[in-house]
Amino acid sequence: MTQEFYSSLINYTRLTNEVLDIVKEGFLVINHHKEVIKVNRTFLNAVGLCEEEVLGRSFFSTLEPQKVDTYKAMIHRASQSQNAQEEVCYLGKNDSWFRVFLYPFEAGYIFVLRDITDKKKQEEVLRKSEGMLKAILNSTSD
Q: Label residue 80 by pLDDT band (50, 70, 90).
A: very high
| Percent share of the chain, pLDDT over 90 | 41
For 15-34, the pLDDT digits (tens) are 776 766 677 888 999 999 99
Taking the C-alpha atoms of residue 37 and residue 14, their distance in angstroms, rounded to an integer, is: 15
The CA-CA-CA angle for residues 71, 107, 27, to 5°, reads 55
Confirm if 89 and 97 have CB atoms less than 8 A apart.
Answer: yes
Inter-CA distances, 107 with 31, 33, 116, 128, 131, Å = 6, 10, 28, 45, 48
Chain centroid offset of residue 54 CA: 14
For 2-19, the pLDDT digits (tens) are 888 767 767 767 777 676
Q: Does the pLDDT of residue 74 top 80, yes or no?
A: yes
Taking the C-alpha atoms of residue 34 and residue 1, their distance in angstroms, rounded to an integer, is: 32
Summarize the confidence of residues 102-107 as an average pLDDT: 94
pTM for the model? 0.74
The helix/strand/coil state of 25 is: coil
Taking the C-alpha atoms of residue 2 and residue 93, their distance in angstroms, rounded to an integer, is: 48
